[in-house]
Amino acid sequence: MKVWKFVLEDPETTVQMPAGAEVLSIGVQREQVCLWALVDPLQPVEPRRFVVVGTGWDVPGHGRFLGTVLLASGELVFHIWEAAR
């Protein structure tokens, strides 16, 4: 098992992750929204969709809330969801 970082570059990002990957945390690194996941690199990859939602925006209808991040010294607040599979 390994911990891998994935950058969420857009409001909706599909990431190719090894099957069964477990999201560990959400954060900001160098002003980019990132997630870290525990993965088994030997597993086949599968697409997983993540949505970045600003405060006051509509949230995805189905999915799992993962966490909140702050950008621009806390001026921008975003909430990250994994879309239902």
Encoded tokens for 10: 């857009």
Under the banding of pLDDT at 50, 70 and 90, the label for residue 61 is confident
Query: Which pLDDT belongs to residue 36?
Result: 98
Average pLDDT score over residue span 34-46 = 98
Confidence of residue 65 (pLDDT cuts 50, 70, 90): very high
All structural domains of the chain with their residue ranges: 2-83
pLDDT digits (tens, 9 = 90+) for 16-26: 999 999 999 99
Residue 84 exposed, middle or buried by CB count within 10 Å (0-12, 13-18, 19+):
exposed
